[in-house]
Amino acid sequence: MADTRNVAIFCAASESIDNIYVDAAHRVGTMLGEMGASLIYGGSSAGLMETTAKAAKEAGAHIVGVVPDILVERGRVSTLLDEQIPCRNLSDRKDIMLSRSNILVALPGGIGTLDEVFHVVAAAKIGYHSKQVVLYNVNGFWDSLMALIEKFKAEGFIKGNMEHILTKADNIEELEKLIKEATE
């Protein structure tokens, strides 16, 4: 996998999501497959996770699922995986996804997605790695989070420029460009 673009995707496993986000996840998966990437994700058979993996696989991507024990116990592991990496819990999952990827992309998601984003961003901010997290800003989904981060910076809670660690892509073309830059 050394010559492959290894892209970790964080996103929702919820099934009750507006179609605008489902369509966006499908486009991201297709783009990853078309660029010859490996998709590294949480391995769930639900929500945007499954949508992204299915589109990526159909477009030729290698699909890597980092699967915590609880997903196996609940029978929620995707059947699309080319490679399944078992892990004990969500903390292990994040660390493995980080170590296996060149760049991390957050599609719209909930608490779990936020946890993944901030786990990786905090580790980069301290200096554990230099990988970038890109928020795919479908329908302005991440605008309020980015405004909150700007407030934190303005009030001194976050020091320095974070664009090399956390940025957003407002469309698929911007996202593709950022992925290519991080994986060339």
pTM, rounded to two decimals: 0.95
Segment 48-64 mean pLDDT: 97
pLDDT tier, 2 (very low <50, low <70, confident <90, very high otherwise): very low
Instruction: Give the closest residue to 12 by CA, choosing from 25, 1, 27, 28.
Output: 25
pLDDT tens for each residue of 81-130 = 999 999 999 999 999 999 999 999 999 999 999 999 999 999 999 999 99
Residues listed for the chain: 184
Residue 84: count of CB within 10 angstroms of its CB: 14
In sequence order, the β-bridge partners of residue 44 are 77
Pull the structure tokens for residue 51.
Answer: 């949508």
pLDDT reported for residue 3? 56
Checking DSSP bridges between strand 133-136 and strand 166-169, what pairing results, if any?
parallel
Residue 15 confidence (pLDDT) above 50: yes
Cα–Cα distance measured from residue 107 to residue 31, given in angstroms and rounded to the nearest whole number: 14
Residue 115: count of CB within 10 angstroms of its CB: 15
pLDDT tens for each residue of 124-164 = 999 999 999 999 999 999 999 999 999 999 999 999 888 89
Percent of the chain with pLDDT over 90: 93
Cα–Cα distance measured from residue 159 to residue 117, given in angstroms and rounded to the nearest whole number: 18
What's the mean per-residue pLDDT of the chain?
95
pLDDT reported for residue 161? 84
